[in-house]
Amino acid sequence: MTPDDAVRMALCTQMGREFAAHFQYLAMSAWLEDEGLPELSGFFGRQAAEEHGHAMKIFRYVLDTGGPVAIPGQDAPVASFESVEALVAAALAQEEQVTRWIDELVHLAREHRDPATEAFLQWYVTEQVEEVATMTELLQVVRRAGESLLFVEDYVVRRHPAGGEA
Ligand code: FEO
C-alpha cells in the first residue's frame, strides 16, 4: 500500500528538515574551517553529506511509493557561532529535535495503518540513536578540552576519521 496524503506530506516535511540539517552542518563546517579547525570542519562536512543522504532516502521512498514529492523551502542556516561549544551544543539540539520528529512520524504511520512507512522509518530511529550519541560525546570532549581545541582536533582524527564511520 502507498502512504496516504497525510503520511506522504509528513514524509516530505521531514525530507525538508533533513535538507535543512545538510545546509546547517555545511555552514558549521565552513565556520570551523574559518576558525582554523580543519578536522572538526571535515567532521561536520561529513555529517552534512550524511544528512543529504537522509533526505534523499525519503525522496526515493516517496517516489517509489507513488509520489508526488513536494520539496519544502528552507530558511538560511545559522552561519556564525559564539564558540565551538555553542556550535556543538546547537548540533546536539538539532539531533534531539530530529529524533522527536522521527518518533512523531513513526506514530503517524502507525495511526494511519501504514506498516511499510513504519518499517522504512526504523532505519531513521536507529540512525538517530547513533547521531545523538555522537554529538553528546563530542560536546563532552569539547567541554573537557576547554581552550585546548587541538585536543578536540586529535579526538576527531582518532574517533571519526575521514573515510570511516562518522
Ligand atoms: Fe538526519 Fe542527523 O538527522
147: number of Cβ within 10 Å: 6
Which residues form ligand 1's pocket by a CB distance below 6 Å? 18, 21, 51, 54, 95, 98, 131
Q: What pLDDT is stored for residue 163 in this prediction?
A: 81
**Residue 28 pLDDT greater than 90, yes or no:** yes
Locate the ligand 1 atom nearest the alpha carbon of residue 54 and give its number.
1
Work out the pLDDT band at 2, boundaries 50, 70, 90.
confident
Is the separation of the CB atoms in 3 and 53 below 8 Å? no
Q: What pLDDT is stored for residue 129 in this prediction?
A: 97
Give the model confidence (pLDDT) of 57-70 as tens digits: 999 999 999 989 99
Structural domains of the chain sorted by starting position, each given as residue range(s) with its CATH number in brackets: 5-159 (1.20.1260.10)
CA of 159 to the centre of ligand 1 (A): 19
With a CB cutoff of 8 Å and minimum separation 6, the contacts of 93 are none
